[in-house]
Structure 1
Amino acid sequence: MDQILQGDERLDYLLAEDLRIIQSPSVFSFSLDAVLLAKFAYVPIRSGKIVDLCTGNGAIPLFLSARTNARIIGIELQERLADMAKRSVTYNRLEHQIDILQNNVIRIADVIGYEKYDTITCNPPYFPAIEASEKNIREHVAIARHEIHLTLEQAVRSASELAKQGGKVAFVHRPGRLLDIVTAMRANRLEPKRIRFVYPKEGKEANTLLIEGIKDGKPDLKVLPPLYVYRADGEYTEEVRQMLYGEEN
């Protein structure tokens, strides 16, 4: 245990997948958005190749490993987060399936290959770059949340460069960026095919957007039923409980 953890890191359970993940309250912990994207994205079940961009501490590759036997590559710019992800992969004995690369998402296809992958997932930074004085004091979190090193358009372009023709690319973002993400997808040969809005609870505005496109696909967008995170009593809805814990009420 001492060798696998560093500093204030802890091992958290991914209950639905029966896996563990290394997290740090001062450096990085994954959010519900990672869970939502991992459950939303299409993945080939038996074989194939998947890339997760902006992988952070490796949550999405770990989630996806429970759904598929495909090879998964996680790309993370920050060395500390990539190292956490690598150690989580090792702890769960998933080295045969998951590779974590510490590298820039921009032009990552130069490194791992163009148009070779069945599925690309991406949980990119949501917020525009801002002055240093206004950023979250934790640099790791600021880089993960703000477009300091990666813009939305750059993330979409890189995803398209990786996806093979007919491959699927899925993003999680904020509803306020819907037109930006659709515009960027279409400019990069990714035709939006499925979209789902996530709401904190019924009666509230959507605060999360899930969208999936197909490389060189034909126009035919399906808007899926809304996903509500909490019930009126503040407890998770049945669908979200299933995602997080693998159980239903």
Structure 2
Amino acid sequence: MKERKIVLNSLGYDSNLYIYQDKSMFNYSVDTILLGNFITINSKTKRILEIGTNNAALSIFISDRDENIKIDALEIQEKAYELAIKNISHNNKNIQINPILGDFNLFYKEHNKKQLKKYDAIVCNPPFYKTDKNLPRLTSNKEMLIATHEIALNLEQIIFGSSKIIKEKGYLSFVLPIERMVDCCELLRKYNFEPKRIQFVFPRENENPKFILIESRFQSGWGTHFEKNIYLHLEDKNRHEYREETKSLYKPKKK
């Protein structure tokens, strides 16, 4: 059996947060950080669910924005769940973050059955790709396949299940490749979510957008606000560094 290569990485710039990551599995990247600072956290945001927490990087980053919020961090893969527990403890977030091992398709049904309190917000950096894309290249790595492709969970299941366990006017937020924008908006409206805030993320100016941040609200009025575009890198392609504006987003934004 191949030995796992687990390394400790910083989570953002100058944030005092660190994450153990298994280099053979899904690792956090800029989309995790941008989603963590994009979501709305206000005085009414008390309970958050993260669907597919993996190593808990996103939940830990969000928790540092407001010490009063509580997060249920759900993960279907046991190896990732074990890393999540390790990371939550390492960052002293045990009081704020509750890691849960389970399948979201069962989780929301059980949550409903027990009539548990609904969430103020749900956040997800979901499996992006449909199962007919890039499968041959990744079939040797089951953990990565589940994290990146709609094998165990798809976008419609996430949105439908979320509609059952979120409060009225609650926030459901995603980061997605730009190719999934129309799919996401169509499914959100199908299940009574209204896309309220959208932000495009570009690698550089004069290039096509790479991914999109979408925040919707459940049973809310229509109308969408488009946030200022994010351009990740300097225009000079020979310089592989982030713009200062991007670096400023790499630290948890306080409420």
TM-score, normalized by length of structure 1?
Answer: 0.90
Cα distance in 2 for partners of 1:43, 1:188 equals: 23
- Give 2:120's aligned residue: 118
Cα pair 1:115 1:161 within 8 Å, conserved: no
> Match for residue 226 of structure 2?
223
Aligned with residue 149 of structure 1, among 152, 155, 174: 152
Deviation of 1:245 after TM superposition, in Å, equals 5.4
Q: In terms of mean alpha carbon deviation, does 124-133 or 61-70 score higher?
A: 124-133
Deviation track 1:106-141 (CA, whole Å, cap 9, x = no partner) reads 242233456611111011111111385342532111
1:237 aligns with 2:228: no
Partner of residue 67 from structure 1, selected from 65, 68, 73: 65
Question: Which residue identity is paired with 1:244?
Answer: Y
Contact preservation (8 Å) 1:200, 1:206: yes
Correspondent of 1:11 among 8, 28, 39: 8
| Partner of residue 25, structure 1 | 23
The aligned residue for residue 166 of structure 1 is 169
Q: What does the per-residue CA deviation read over 1:25-65, in whole Å, with 9 as the maximum and x for residues that have no partner? A: 11231121111111111123586100111111101111001
CA distance 1:81–1:111, shift in 2 (3 Å): same
Aligned residues: 241
SS at match of 1:179: helix
Which of the numbers 211, 215, 226 marks the counterpart of 2:214?
Answer: 211
Quote the sequence identity (%): 29
**8 Å contact 1:71–1:98 — kept in the other structure?**
yes
Counterpart CA distance in 2 for 1:16 and 1:169 is 28
**SS of corresponding position for 1:108:** helix
CA RMSD, aligned part only? 1.9
Listed one character per residue, the Cα deviations across residues 217-248 of structure 1 (whole Å, up to 9, x for unaligned) are 100101111100101133211221112257xx
Matches within 5 A, 1:32-71: 32-44=30-42, 48-68=46-66, 69-71=68-70
How far apart, in 1, do the equivalents of 2:144 and 2:181 lie? 23
**Is 31-40 or 192-201 further displaced after alignment?**
31-40
User: Where does the alignment leave 5 or more consecutive residues of structure 1 unmatched?
Assistant: 1-5
Unaligned runs of 5+ in 2: none
CA contact (8 A) 1:196 1:227 kept: yes
On the 8 A contact 2:35/2:174 being kept in 1, the answer is: yes
Question: Is contact 2:81–2:99 with CA below 8 Å preserved after alignment?
Answer: yes
Instruction: Write the distance in 1 (CA, Å) between the matches of 2:35 and 2:200.
Output: 12
Tell me the TM-score normalized by structure 2. 0.88
